[in-house]
Structure 1
Amino acid sequence: MIGIVMAGGKGSRMNLDDEKLLLQYKKPIILHVIDSLKNSNYFSKIIAITSPNSPKTKTLLEENNIEIFDTSGIGYVEDLNSVLQKFNDSILVASGDMPLLDNEIIQTIVNHYDSQKTWTSILVTDRLLTSIGIKSDYSIIHNQQKCHFTGISLINSQKINSLENVEENYVVIDDKRIALNLNTKQDYDLLSTT
């Protein structure tokens, strides 16, 4: 399995002077995500997806000997699609802005991988997000409850030609380690309370 970390976004909703993935939570947040994948011992390769939107993040990753895949930075879907075309493997995709990730929750997620399914998105319930004070704009109704996307997916890239018309499956894992994506300054402020 290949671990892919999306690290090429602008982070424009944070309205910061510096790049979002360089925010500190004991160390730069992007390194928390990379290390959680490394320490799970599930991946033959870990690749960070960068773009012209994140030059300092790319430099930090290179200084830490992380393999880089450069994209255009047009958008998340376009960048991810260009990466998936390059691989013929099982893939875990994670957003680079998840500071609470650790190797144990990565192992739990990978255990849900089913090679018969093209795409499985990991969800958390609205109840969990509300209980820890997080708001999300990306929700769906799954099994008659409101759920939110975590930014983590399990993909069988052998079954993908493009990201159009891909059948998406869902797994709910209610765990705060995957509930917190840093999309706003309020999300970052929540880190000090965890």
Structure 2
Amino acid sequence: MIAIVMAGGKGSRMNLDEEKLLLKYKKHLILHVIDALENSKCFSKILAVTSSNSPKTEKLLKENNIELFHTSGVGYVEDLNLVLKSLNDFVFITSADLPYLDGDIINDIINQYDSKNIWTTILVTKKFLDSLHLTSNYNFSFNNQQCCYTGISLVNAKNISTLDNVIEEFIILDDKRVAFNLNTKEDYDLLSTT
């Protein structure tokens, strides 16, 4: 299995002068996520997907000998589609702004994954997010609950050529380690208090 860390976005919702993934929570956010993936011992390769939107993040990753996959940075879906088309394996995709992500939760997610599914996305319930005082702009109904994306998916890249018409399966996992996704300055301020 290959891990992909999506690290090429602008982080525009944070409204910061610096790149979001260089914010620190014990260490730079991006390095924390890379460490969690390495500590899980689940992956034959870890790729950080970068773009011209995040030059300082890319520089930090190079300095830490992280393998990079450079994209145009047009958009998340376009960048992800480009990298998935280049792979022929099972892929664990994560956003790079999950400060509580750790090897144990990654193992839990992989153990719940059904490899017969082409695409499985990890969700949290809106109720759980509310309990953490977090918000999401992307709520939808699944299993009679309001749910939100975590930024984590498992994909059988061997069986897709594009992201069009892919049937998406879901797993709800109300766990702080996947729910706490830094999208706003308020999220980062809240992280400092937990």
TM-score range, shorter chain: over 0.9
Tell me the distance in 1 between the aligned counterparts of 2:81 and 2:28.
26
Does residue 18 (structure 1) correspond to residue 34 (structure 2)? The answer is no
Further displaced range: 184-193 or 148-157: 184-193
Does residue 114 (structure 1) correspond to residue 132 (structure 2)? The answer is no
Identify the residue that residue 174 of structure 1 maps to in structure 2. Answer: 174
* Structure 1 residue 188: Cα displacement: 0.3
Tell me the distance in 2 between the aligned counterparts of 1:163 and 1:57.
26
Q: How is 1:20-59 mapped onto 2 (pairs within 5 angstroms)?
A: 20-59=20-59
Tell me the distance in 1 between the aligned counterparts of 2:99 and 2:27.
9
TM-score under structure 1 length normalisation:
0.99
Identify the residue that residue 87 of structure 1 maps to in structure 2. Answer: 87
Tell me the distance in 1 between the aligned counterparts of 2:11 and 2:77.
15
* Structure 1 residue 180: Cα displacement: 1.1
* Structure 1 residue 7: Cα displacement: 0.2
Tell me the alpha carbon deviations over residues 65-111 of structure 1, each in whole angstroms, 9 at most, x when there is no partner.
00000000000000000000000100000000111101111111111
Does residue 127 (structure 1) correspond to residue 98 (structure 2)? The answer is no
SS in 2 for 1:116: coil
Identify the residue that residue 150 of structure 1 maps to in structure 2. Answer: 150
SS in 1 for 2:130: helix
Identify the residue that residue 189 of structure 1 maps to in structure 2. Answer: 189
Tell me the distance in 2 between the aligned counterparts of 1:178 and 1:43.
18
Tell me the distance in 1 between the aligned counterparts of 2:116 and 2:137.
29
Tell me the distance in 2 between the aligned counterparts of 1:111 and 1:149.
19
Report percent identity of matched pairs.
62
Tell me the distance in 2 between the aligned counterparts of 1:76 and 1:147.
20
Name structure 1 gaps, 5 residues minimum.
none
* Structure 1 residue 124: Cα displacement: 0.4
Tell me the alpha carbon deviations over residues 91-139 of structure 1, each in whole angstroms, 9 at most, x when there is no partner.
0000001111011111111112222100000000111100010000112
* Structure 1 residue 193: Cα displacement: 2.4
Tell me the distance in 1 between the aligned counterparts of 2:5 and 2:112.
18
TM-score under structure 2 length normalisation:
0.99
Name structure 2 gaps, 5 residues minimum.
none
Identify the residue that residue 97 of structure 1 maps to in structure 2. Answer: 97
SS in 1 for 2:16: coil
Tell me the distance in 2 between the aligned counterparts of 1:190 and 1:31.
20
* Structure 1 residue 14: Cα displacement: 0.6
Tell me the distance in 1 between the aligned counterparts of 2:166 and 2:190.
34
What is the one-letter code of the residue matched to 2:167?
E
